Amino acid sequence: MGSIPLPLFLLFLSLSAGVEAGNPPASPRNLATCLSSAQLTNYTIPSVDPSEAAMSSYYRVLNFSIQNLRFARPSLPKPAAVVLPGNKLQLRSTIICCRLANLGIRIRSGGHSYEGLSYSAGDHTPFVIIDLMNMNRVWVDVENRTAWVESGATLGDTYHAIAMANDSIAFSAGSCPTVGSGGHIAGGGFGLLSRKHGLAADNVLDAVLVDPDGRVLDRESMGDDVFWAIRGGGGGTWGAVYAWKIRLVPVPKRVTSFIINRAGSTQTVAELVHKWQRVAPSLPDEFYLACFVGAGLPELDRIGMSATFKGFYLGPKPAAVATLNRRFAQLNLSDSELQEMSWIESVVFFSGLPKWSSVSDLKNRILHTKTFFKAKSDYVLQPISKRDLVRALDLLSDEPKAYLILDPYGGAMDRVGSEDLPFPHRRGNLYVIQYLVEWTADDDGRRDEFMEWIRGFYGFMGEFVSKGPRAAYVNYLDLDLGSTGWTDGNEGDSDPVAEARVWGERYFLENFDRLVRAKTAVDPDNVFRNEQSIPPLGLGLGLRGDEEGTWDDDHGVF
């Protein structure tokens, strides 16, 4: 591995004794000194000059990847710095410098954390954002159908690079192009190809992880438990994944795509959804058929209950039409509503980008619309009755800014064991529900009203979804499920594992305890933490005392 620059190593020696002795006050000044010694200049800190010009660079970088505008409000705590490493060595150096300055660390890939945990700190402790946007390279090996993807690459970057290398291979992951690969894969990563080829995390072959001590670890050196944990155990917990080695999957030259809307009364729409929940999870693996339901769906210009069906088929249009008309005749599909296209064109089609967008726009991080939103999630194991769907849609019609996304499972999702990876929601789950309420700045004065509404709707849905525990998807983070209020690395008489179990078992079911063991192995001092990070057993303080002062260039710090 590459060595840490000598000035940084000497600075480490001069400051490490103070760190080992306890938790000194957080020091942005120490951070700046350390970053300079590491020859790291691509960072921004708040200026003492409150003028707009002096602060513009800081806020421009800070706000660029804040995707949920709920967490862009001026009143929320801001980071002591935003650092943008450009390579693995700079990432290692940044982590070391944050530790020396006793500043918390938030790793930001694309900024799509639903609760802002990649760029905010609800406990008000001083922190630094390590923004990975400059580590966005993708290396594609067409012959072996693999790729190395840096964690700062968006899904759009990744898909574009793959398609430019070969139009018959793809990666199984989500549809939003501005989502960062780092956080997406870390939580599982469901998408249009998942019923055929599994989650993004199911297709990870190797990874490079920079741990809290700056050691650079691959699959072999990090060990089985940690490699297992980083593939679906959530982001911001284990260290910083520099890059992922992913398996690429075959796709035909032409695929079939459609987005159709069906409007009507709540009774009419409920009948369609009732049929959908029996059809979509049992279609051939080559199909993905999602259902969006609401009284004011974002892509429509009208108010009124409707369902939008977003369909994808790995094959030609005639076969797709024949299967859907046989299995889901209630859709009344016409041939003209479906389109054949290449796989990469389908990525653009489902991306949510403006209709005029091209394949190259998948790499554009600013075309995607940002909103204020709150989300929650549920898993459905048994079809919901038509009567209860009508009741649910009657409630949904009361709030036009809210809608549901129903994503079907089945297929390859059933063929992976619930303990094979941290993501446990496999066989037996028909579909996942994502509840969303979105609003603009003009309506932000009603924020509390929107939050209260979605919590009430979620409460109503409790009798129809999984129980014991009521499960949730970690990539749809929801702090309503519970949080751990870290104040430092040691919580005294409290039991962080017991606190985290409340929400952790809802995301990870029986895999929670193995995640705790993995966290204890890789980050026993809880350096990488947020309100919903996995805690280690037996929290300690500072740096590990049995490793002080010994430098090993092969493994990073110490």
Residues annotated as part of the active site: 476
Cα-trace Rg, the chain? 23
Helix orientation angle between 496-508 and 512-522, rounded to the nearest 10 degrees: 120
Cross-strand partners of 206: 245
For residue 300, the surrounding DSSP H or E stretch is none
The CA distance from 472 to 380, in Å, is 10
The CA distance from 46 to 405, in Å, is 39
Asked if 547 contacts 20 with a C-beta cutoff of 8 angstroms, the reply is no
* 526 closest CA partner among 507, 499, 550, 502: 499
Question: What is the DSSP secondary-structure string of 216-227?
Answer: EE-HHHH-HHHH
- Show Cβ contacts of residue 542 under 8 Å, excluding neighbours closer than 6 positions: 19, 20, 21, 22, 23, 489, 525
What b/e string do you get for 187-221 counting C-beta neighbours within 10 Å, with b at 16 or more?
bbbbbbbbbbbbbbbbbbeebbbbbbbbbbbebee
The CA distance from 504 to 532, in Å, is 8
Residue reference for tokens 């009208």: 302
Helix (H, G, I), strand (E, B) or coil at 1: coil
Token pair listed for 321: 């039409």
